[in-house]
Amino acid sequence: MKSFRRVSREHHQEDTVVKLNTSQGPVFIGEGYCTIIAGPCAVETRRDYLDMACFLRSAGAHILRGGLFKPRTSPYSFRGLGKEGLDIMLEARALTGMPVVTEIMDVRDLDMLSQSVDILQVGSRNMQNYTLLDELGQVNRPVLLKRGLSATLEEWLLAAEYVLCGGNHQVILCERGIRTFETYTRNTVDIGAVPLVKKISHLPIIVDPSHATGKWDMVIPVSRAAIAAGADGVMVEVHHDPDRALSDGKQSLTPDNFKRLMEKVLPLARLDDKK
Amino acid sequence: MKSFRRVSREHHQEDTVVKLNTSQGPVFIGEGYCTIIAGPCAVETRRDYLDMACFLRSAGAHILRGGLFKPRTSPYSFRGLGKEGLDIMLEARALTGMPVVTEIMDVRDLDMLSQSVDILQVGSRNMQNYTLLDELGQVNRPVLLKRGLSATLEEWLLAAEYVLCGGNHQVILCERGIRTFETYTRNTVDIGAVPLVKKISHLPIIVDPSHATGKWDMVIPVSRAAIAAGADGVMVEVHHDPDRALSDGKQSLTPDNFKRLMEKVLPLARLDDKK
Amino acid sequence: MKSFRRVSREHHQEDTVVKLNTSQGPVFIGEGYCTIIAGPCAVETRRDYLDMACFLRSAGAHILRGGLFKPRTSPYSFRGLGKEGLDIMLEARALTGMPVVTEIMDVRDLDMLSQSVDILQVGSRNMQNYTLLDELGQVNRPVLLKRGLSATLEEWLLAAEYVLCGGNHQVILCERGIRTFETYTRNTVDIGAVPLVKKISHLPIIVDPSHATGKWDMVIPVSRAAIAAGADGVMVEVHHDPDRALSDGKQSLTPDNFKRLMEKVLPLARLDDKK
Amino acid sequence: MKSFRRVSREHHQEDTVVKLNTSQGPVFIGEGYCTIIAGPCAVETRRDYLDMACFLRSAGAHILRGGLFKPRTSPYSFRGLGKEGLDIMLEARALTGMPVVTEIMDVRDLDMLSQSVDILQVGSRNMQNYTLLDELGQVNRPVLLKRGLSATLEEWLLAAEYVLCGGNHQVILCERGIRTFETYTRNTVDIGAVPLVKKISHLPIIVDPSHATGKWDMVIPVSRAAIAAGADGVMVEVHHDPDRALSDGKQSLTPDNFKRLMEKVLPLARLDDKK
């Protein structure tokens, strides 16, 4: 893997810690922290999203997620509220003081999103959308780069290299499961990617156990595994009524299960002196 | 696979045959034809590209390929000549009368490319770039849709569905190898995808044995397998001097080997009464 | 792949052609021949097996297959007739003059089977059963070695090396599909393995499209692809009444479809001057 | 997954805990315990093995491992000391009071091994060697069943079902990594298999991070992930001088690193009240 430059630990020895400023003080992602990103798969209605944001705030989540532009395998599935959802998301941000993260799919949305949300997410399907990565290298916003469905570790880090070599050094890697022959789970979490990324690169890495497993009752044990393996946080889906979610209901935690997640995960982080 | 509509044979029973008009008469891709698409991986210099185009014309190829915007795993690799290469490609088109195909990566290039080239190619990495697929549904140009590196048959056909449901019914599917555990070849050709697509869908399907194998000496046997399995054509890489190619040299045929390919493949097509 | 010795073409340049003597004259497997192995997945009843053998003989098949000891994923599935089936198989052999092939799973059956059947098959699940491979190196019977479900080309050839280094040089390799993420077919045929094995090794290689695809209507196109890619033959499952087969019914051809297979495959073999 | 009977939690609700009697008191594997199995990949020399056994005893390991009959991809690799090694292993057992586990490959070794070692291991390559599984169903010894390289969860549990339906209910499952496209690590640990097995079955499950990753510096983080996800223990390779090991040196811990493993893993077990 000689092709890395800016993402490699040889190039930059110190761990990169991303800092997000909020009205409630800063939020960090990187070595020494255990950061919890939570929210519904997609922003669906104003009322539900604001309620969820308040709940997550009180339950200890650090960052709020929510899809506005949803990449869907079928063109006939719900594809997100788009710009209308952005207003709701920003209202939740103002209400709770939590930073927000959402996925960007189209370079033509870059101005709008980079001026309003705290982290720009690149989804698995766009991990090698180099047009998008080149543009994200030019903006002054952290990028959450999900691993492609069948991307090798090398390809993933080289996708991050695209953003860094454009001048934007604020990249957070997100392991979200890879595609294997096993069909019992939606994807297979590559837990080994966590210590490997930590060794090779200075960038933060988090795990998304919701997409990685596709099953809500695996989210807690896999989140624990992620933190125990050295991940800097997890990103999970939470929905008030998973059975009625417009997308990804099966993998969403209920609010009660999210509370249980916090109880089961935080002691592991404390064991390693993570904040 | 109930989610298909426009791509399925139930929706449209007759085979779709794509017709390209040229100064030398029409070129067809679809059932009953064996169409050979050939050219270098990327347009590199004017002189070499025009020479190659003339050679391929005389050797019996039907359509000319050549990359202008190259998706590369590393940001430091050669990324194509861009618009400068387009002029060279159009000169080769005028000179030989052959239709041309090139990859589109950025929706912002769509006007330029859809007005000048005969087929717009979507690469593996962008198979689920829905922003791009939505836009391609709006243009009046055939789309060559490569299968994603780890896309299931269902995901691939649903990507085609995006284009068809936008109103553009001229989609050609291209099997280009999938990612498996086997590392001896670059990818693994899923030869079974050919009869499966023919059964499920009315769309034409071709095979790209160059990218699928990554080895020039496998291109002829795999091309033969493709045609024997029922594919409507193949797309192969040819380079005057593969050792000096700026990309994909190892999988490129020399002009002499391209002639051998034609000798070894065409008799199989004739056996099935393909033109 | 420096670890090969006896299986490699460098060690033994001339193609190995396996010769089976029968009351009707010799049957060959190897370069220059297109050998068709056919029969039901398992020997089920005496009457049906003898009828099938006579049909296959008249339809032009060269070798008769039939499982006696069936490796089944579940212990509760039909596991074969065992020694009782062997008598039926040998009766079919005497009746038709066709050589027979069956799978061996237990080293303790080796004496019995090596003295009665013409080819000993090693199934996918036992490709790395080194106890069995070591013993097969000691017998004077050809071995049909199926590729393991997720065996690399190198591992497969090294499994053959076990047999050859024991002193038995009569090994026939059989590509039967590998396990990938694609679930539409039972396995994914690695068609590229055919030219690769032909290049690296002197051993014959055939393809089993029935197990590779799991779908009877893909058997003909994939058989054609195999022969076009250079395979020395195919092994297919045929059953008088696939819907009532005790195993693998979905992938079995009816007798009529077997006749169609012969009509569609033999012209390809003739094109390459194969007998 | 309706095909399970005896392995399923519906059939047997209470967790199976395997008990091994030793001169130092009982050792348990199952829910509520965190059991550490350690030792070199293969028994190489008497002196080294006895030294290692004493070290591991003092460092807190519970069970001693060591290969006698080694399944090797190439027939020319070191294949184990065989029966000679067994005497050494039993001497270490007598010296330390630790129970021992070794792999069985050949049914003809069953009498010898089942009368002398505490746990009989079935390796990945033999997970579907049904001849062996049937015989293991007849003995009164716990079986450590490794997951096959590309076995689905269902196939793995059905392999255990073979042993249970023979009458032997003492099966310990061992996740040891699955084969995927990623080549940076030897295999990919399927960490999700841990909570899934715990949910579906009553059998104990442990993880082998040494074979799963192939890299010694990943053994500690992956062991931590395993315990955090709910595994009942880990099995790791330790060697006095990994660079000179006759097999698997790259994935072996030094004694010092084994001590660090214990320091990093045991606090996680204590957090969940595991003994």
Report the phi/psi class of residue A66: left, alpha or beta, with left for phi > 0 and alpha for psi in -120 to 50.
left
Give me the helices (H) in chain C, please: 46-59, 83-96, 110-114, 130-136, 153-166, 193-200, 209-213, 219-229, 255-271
Q: What is the pLDDT of residue C79?
A: 87
Interface A-B, measured as beta-carbon pairs within 8 A, has a size of: 67
Question: What sign for the dihedral angle of Cα D118, D124, D130, D132?
Answer: negative
Instruction: Work out the mean pLDDT of chain A and round it to a whole number.
Output: 95
Q: Cβ–Cβ of A228/D230 closer than 8 Å? A: no
Query: Token pair for residue B117?
Result: 């080239």
Please state, in angstroms and rounded to a whole number, the distance separating the CA atoms of residues A11 and A13: 6
The continuous run of DSSP H or E covering C154 comes out as helix C153-166
D18 CB burial (10 A radius; 0-12, 13-18, 19+): buried
Chosen from C179, C181, C185 to mutate, greatest number of chain A CBs within 10 A = C181
Q: Which of B117-121, B249-253, C256-260, D237-241 has the lowest mean pLDDT?
A: B249-253
For D34-63, write each residue's pLDDT tens digit: 999 999 999 999 999 999 999 999 999 999
Contact A39, A65 (CB under 8 A): yes
Q: Cβ–Cβ of A180/C181 closer than 8 Å? A: yes
DSSP D139-175: SSS-EEEEPPTT--HHHHHHHHHHHHHTT---EEEEE
What is the pLDDT confidence band of residue D2, given thresholds at 50, 70 and 90? low
Please state, in angstroms and rounded to a whole number, the distance separating the CA atoms of residues C134 and C123: 15
Residue in B with minimal Cα distance to D188? B181
Tell me the residue type at D131: T
Whether residue A2 has pLDDT greater than 80 = no
Q: HSE of A135 in the Cβ direction (CA atoms, 13 Å)? A: 19
Count the neighbouring beta carbons within 10 Å of the beta carbon of residue B71.
18
Pairing between strand D143-146 and D119-122?
A: parallel
Q: What is the pLDDT of residue B154?
A: 95
- Tell which D residues from 125 to 154 touch B, by Cβ distance under 8 Å: 150
Residue B58, chain A, CB below 8 Å: the answer is no
Q: Which of A131-140, A171-180, D240-249 has the lowest mean pLDDT?
A: D240-249
Q: Cβ–Cβ of C131/D165 closer than 8 Å? A: no
CA dihedral A167, A168, A172, A177 (to 10 degrees): -60
For B224-240, write each residue's pLDDT tens digit: 999 999 999 999 999 99
The minimal CB distance from B181 to the residues C150, C192, C228 is found for: C150
The minimal CB distance from C106 to the residues D71, D131, D165 is found for: D131
- Shortest Cα–Cα distance, D88 to chain A (Å): 35
Query: Token pair for residue D135?
Result: 């015989």
Q: Which of B54-58, C64-68, C72-76 has the lowest mean pLDDT?
A: C72-76
Chosen from C31, C152, C182 to mutate, greatest number of chain B CBs within 10 A = C182
Residues 6+ apart with CB under 8 A from B244: none
What is the pLDDT confidence band of residue D30, given thresholds at 50, 70 and 90? very high
Mean pLDDT on C28-45: 96
Contact B238, B255 (CB under 8 A): yes
What is the pLDDT confidence band of residue B118, given thresholds at 50, 70 and 90? very high
- Shortest Cα–Cα distance, D180 to chain A (Å): 6
Contact B173, B203 (CB under 8 A): yes
Q: Cβ–Cβ of A3/B76 closer than 8 Å? A: yes
The minimal CB distance from B71 to the residues A71, A130, A149 is found for: A130
- Shortest Cα–Cα distance, A181 to chain C (Å): 4
Q: What is the pLDDT of residue A220?
A: 97
A74 CB burial (10 A radius; 0-12, 13-18, 19+): middle
Whether residue C100 has pLDDT greater than 70 = yes
- Shortest Cα–Cα distance, C112 to chain B (Å): 36
What is the pLDDT confidence band of residue B2, given thresholds at 50, 70 and 90? low
In chain A, pLDDT over 90 holds for what percent of residues? 89
- Shortest Cα–Cα distance, D181 to chain B (Å): 4
Please state, in angstroms and rounded to a whole number, the distance separating the CA atoms of residues D252 and D258: 9
Q: Cβ–Cβ of C158/D75 closer than 8 Å? A: yes
- For chain C, how many residues are written? 275
3-state secondary structure chain A: CCCCCCCECCCCCCCCCEEECCCCCCEEECCCCCEEEEECCECCCHHHHHHHHHHHHHHCCCEEECECCCCCCCCCCCCCCCHHHHHHHHHHHHHHCCCEEEECCCHHHHHHHHCCCCEEEECHHHCCCHHHHHHHCCCCCCEEEECCCCCCHHHHHHHHHHHHHCCCCCEEEEECCECCCCCCCCCECECCHHHHHHHHECCCEEECHHHHHCCHHHHHHHHHHHHHHCCCEEEEEECCCHHHCCCCHHHCECHHHHHHHHHHHHHHHHHCCCC
Mean pLDDT on B105-125: 96
Whether residue A1 has pLDDT greater than 70 = no
For D119-163, write each residue's pLDDT tens digit: 999 999 999 999 999 999 999 999 999 999 999 999 999 999 999
- Shortest Cα–Cα distance, D31 to chain A (Å): 15
Count the neighbouring beta carbons within 10 Å of the beta carbon of residue D23.
10
Tell me the residue type at B73: T
Q: Cβ–Cβ of C74/D161 closer than 8 Å? A: yes
The minimal CB distance from B71 to the residues A5, A128, A150 is found for: A128
Q: What is the pLDDT of residue A217?
A: 94
- Shortest Cα–Cα distance, D105 to chain C (Å): 7
Q: Cβ–Cβ of C183/A180 closer than 8 Å? A: no
What is the pLDDT confidence band of residue A249, given thresholds at 50, 70 and 90? confident
Which chains reach chain C with 3 or more Cβ–Cβ distances below 8 angstroms?
A, B, D
Mean pLDDT on B7-25: 94
Residue B5, chain D, CB below 8 Å: the answer is no
Q: Cβ–Cβ of D129/C130 closer than 8 Å? A: no
**Contacts B180 to D, Cβ<8 Å:** 181
The DSSP code for B250 is G
Q: What is the pLDDT of residue C183?
A: 87
pTM of the model: 0.95
Whether residue D67 has pLDDT greater than 80 = yes
The minimal CB distance from C153 to the residues B182, B225, B230 is found for: B182
Residue in C with minimal Cα distance to D4? C74
C31 CB burial (10 A radius; 0-12, 13-18, 19+): middle
Query: Token pair for residue D11?
Result: 């059939």
Residue D183, chain B, CB below 8 Å: the answer is yes
The DSSP code for B109 is G
The minimal CB distance from B149 to the residues A130, A150, A158 is found for: A150
Tell me the residue type at B167: G
Residue A162, chain B, CB below 8 Å: the answer is yes
Q: Cβ–Cβ of B150/D181 closer than 8 Å? A: yes
What is the pLDDT confidence band of residue B78, given thresholds at 50, 70 and 90? confident
Mean pLDDT on C66-94: 92
- Shortest Cα–Cα distance, B124 to chain D (Å): 17
Residue B50, chain C, CB below 8 Å: the answer is no
Please state, in angstroms and rounded to a whole number, the distance separating the CA atoms of residues A255 and A211: 18
Q: What is the pLDDT of residue B76?
A: 87
Residue C74, chain D, CB below 8 Å: the answer is yes
Instruction: Work out the mean pLDDT of chain D and round it to a whole number.
Output: 95
Nearest to D145 by CA among D127, D169, D170, D158: D127
Tell me the residue type at B189: V
DSSP D66-98: -BSS---SSTTS----THHHHHHHHHHHHHH--
Whether residue C98 has pLDDT greater than 90 = yes
What is the pLDDT confidence band of residue C2, given thresholds at 50, 70 and 90? low
The minimal CB distance from C192 to the residues B188, B199, B271 is found for: B188
For C7-29, write each residue's pLDDT tens digit: 999 999 999 999 999 988 999 99
For C217-238, write each residue's pLDDT tens digit: 999 999 999 999 999 999 999 9
Q: Report chain C's C-alpha Rg in angstroms.
A: 17
Q: What is the largest CA-CA distance in chain A?
A: 50
The DSSP code for B44 is -
Q: What is the pLDDT of residue C235?
A: 98
Chosen from B156, B182, B266 to mutate, greatest number of chain C CBs within 10 A = B182
Q: Cβ–Cβ of C180/A181 closer than 8 Å? A: yes
What is the pLDDT confidence band of residue A148, given thresholds at 50, 70 and 90? very high
Instruction: Work out the mean pLDDT of chain C and round it to a whole number.
Output: 95
Residue C184, chain A, CB below 8 Å: the answer is no
Whether residue B83 has pLDDT greater than 60 = yes
Q: Which of B149-153, B164-168, C141-145, D180-184 has the lowest mean pLDDT?
A: D180-184
Residue B115, chain C, CB below 8 Å: the answer is no
Please state, in angstroms and rounded to a whole number, the distance separating the CA atoms of residues D213 and D76: 24
Whether residue A262 has pLDDT greater than 80 = yes
In chain A, pLDDT over 70 holds for what percent of residues? 99
**Contacts D268 to A, Cβ<8 Å:** 228, 268, 271
**Contacts D150 to B, Cβ<8 Å:** 181
Q: Cβ–Cβ of A150/C180 closer than 8 Å? A: no
Whether residue D189 has pLDDT greater than 80 = yes
